[in-house]
Structure 1
Amino acid sequence: MRQENLGALIGAVFGAVFVFVNTSDPLPGPAALTLKVLAAVALAAIVLLAVLANKAPRTAEARPSGGMFGKRYGLVVAAEAVLLFGGIAVLRLLGAPDQANVAWIAFVVGVHFLALAGVWRRSSIAVPGVLLTVFGIAGLAMAGIGALAWIPLVSGTLSGITLLAGSLTATAQSFARSRSRGA
């Protein structure tokens, strides 16, 4: 699988999980179900587009010159893991409500995308990075004022939708490039 499509698939799976896990009250049941179904459809579309894009022959310029998942990527992911688990432990020690965890996760994942935008030299990755970081900060602020019921929606569901939208955009572009090479 092409590395850019693999990255989009990883983002899509995490995005779908964000939506599936965090989309419930205070949303009405039909709205929550609709968002979950749309997330599943988006994930299926992303997988299909990635598979179809990967079937096209590669040209010399389509081959990556270096790996996306090299040493610098590994360092970013390692730092992300430390921040995720360490931050959740600190939140627990501080007596933060459980809902703050999803806000922290969104914040850290957003910062991770900002770091990857620099590592991969792809400014488009900064867009979901900024959005997830903002959704995380908003959720942490909501925890501070006691608006706990809305944190999963703001920090979880909106983050998931952002990841799915970014992944869908990336795989649709990859698919379009593959079709233009094959034509």
Structure 2
Amino acid sequence: MTSHQTSGLVGAVFGLVFVLVNAGNLPAAVAVVVRVLAIGSFIWLFIALRRAGAPRAEGQVATAPRLFGRRYLLVVAAEVAAALAGILVINLVLHTPHATVAWISLVVGLHFFGLAAVWRAPSLRLLAAAMAACGAAGLVLAACAVPLAVIATVAGILPGVLLLGSVWWGVRSAPAATAAIS
């Protein structure tokens, strides 16, 4: 797989996890539908990503620049440190575990600003802003003591859908992928 396929797969996996984990806070019938849709979307994306790597011409595979270097690792390390620190504060100091998913969404959203800079991919800024906004809104909702299902939807399911949608957009926008999945 190319670096772009790998980054798309990582985004799709995390999008799926966001949806699957947070759907558990919804009524059972709704949770099943949401999970089935997320799994179906993930399978479609997985297939589309694999096809996007198909040879462009006879025996010639598209290559992509290396995305997972030292600067990427620094962004991810900062993300993990911020996420863990925030989770500890939220749970041990503030005693508001229902705000955890919102914090994670905020941090993941902010990390996409770093990735946009490292990968020179300004299009990631839109995903970053949208996910960070979901996380911030979820923190506000948690502070207002709204039901967990609402927080999980705004700060968990919606960011998962945003990640899956972002990967879909990337697959649809890639020149080789458009021909492969059309």
TM-score for both structures, normalised by structure 2:
0.89
1:106–1:132 contact (8 Å) kept in structure 2: yes
Post-superposition offset of 1:180: 5.1
User: Hey, what does 2:173 align to over in structure 1?
Assistant: 173
Q: How many angstroms apart in 1 are the aligned matches of 2:42 and 2:4?
A: 16
1:23–1:153 contact (8 Å) kept in structure 2: yes
Structure 1 residues 94 and 15, CA, compared in 2 at 3 Å: closer, same or farther?
same
Runs of 4+ in 1 over 4 A off after TM superposition: 58-62, 178-181
User: Hey, what does 2:80 align to over in structure 1?
Assistant: 81
Q: How many angstroms apart in 1 are the aligned matches of 2:165 and 2:128?
A: 13
User: Hey, what does 2:49 align to over in structure 1?
Assistant: 50
Structure 1 residues 28 and 91, CA, compared in 2 at 3 Å: closer, same or farther?
closer
Structure 1 residues 178 and 132, CA, compared in 2 at 3 Å: closer, same or farther?
closer
Task: Tell me, yes or no, if structure 1 residue 156 matches structure 2 residue 156.
Answer: yes
Residue identity in the other structure for 1:5: Q
1:56–1:178 contact (8 Å) kept in structure 2: no
Post-superposition offset of 1:144: 1.0
Structure 1 residue matching 2:97: 3-state secondary structure? coil
**In the TM superposition, what whole-angstrom CA distance separates every residue of 1:113-136 from its partner, at most 9, and x where no partner exists?**
111011111122112111110010
How many residue pairs get matched?
A: 178
1:99–1:148 contact (8 Å) kept in structure 2: no
Higher relative contact order (CA 8 A, sep 6+): 1
Task: Tell me, yes or no, if structure 1 residue 140 matches structure 2 residue 146.
Answer: no
Structure 2 unaligned blocks of 5 or more: none
2:18–2:156 contact (8 Å) kept in structure 1: yes
What are the residue-to-residue correspondences of 1:100-115 with 2, within 5 Å? 100-115=99-114
**In the TM superposition, what whole-angstrom CA distance separates every residue of 1:79-122 from its partner, at most 9, and x where no partner exists?**
01101111101112322321111000000000011110111111
Aligned-pair identity (%): 35
Post-superposition offset of 1:62: 4.5
What's the RMSD between the two structures over aligned residues? 2.2
User: Hey, what does 1:40 align to over in structure 2?
Assistant: 39
2:171–2:177 contact (8 Å) kept in structure 1: no
Post-superposition offset of 1:179: 6.0
Q: Bigger shift: 85-94 or 35-44?
A: 85-94
Q: Bigger shift: 49-58 or 13-22?
A: 49-58
Q: How many angstroms apart in 2 are the aligned matches of 1:79 and 1:28?
A: 35
Q: How many angstroms apart in 2 are the aligned matches of 1:179 and 1:114?
A: 27
Residue identity in the other structure for 1:43: F
**In the TM superposition, what whole-angstrom CA distance separates every residue of 1:123-158 from its partner, at most 9, and x where no partner exists?**
221121111100100111111111142111110000
Structure 1 residue matching 2:53: 3-state secondary structure? helix
Residue identity in the other structure for 2:164: L
**In the TM superposition, what whole-angstrom CA distance separates every residue of 1:40-92 from its partner, at most 9, and x where no partner exists?**
0110011101111112247999433x411111101000001101111101112
Q: How many angstroms apart in 2 are the aligned matches of 1:179 and 1:93?
A: 48
User: Hey, what does 2:89 align to over in structure 1?
Assistant: 90
Residue identity in the other structure for 2:6: L
Structure 1 unaligned blocks of 5 or more: none
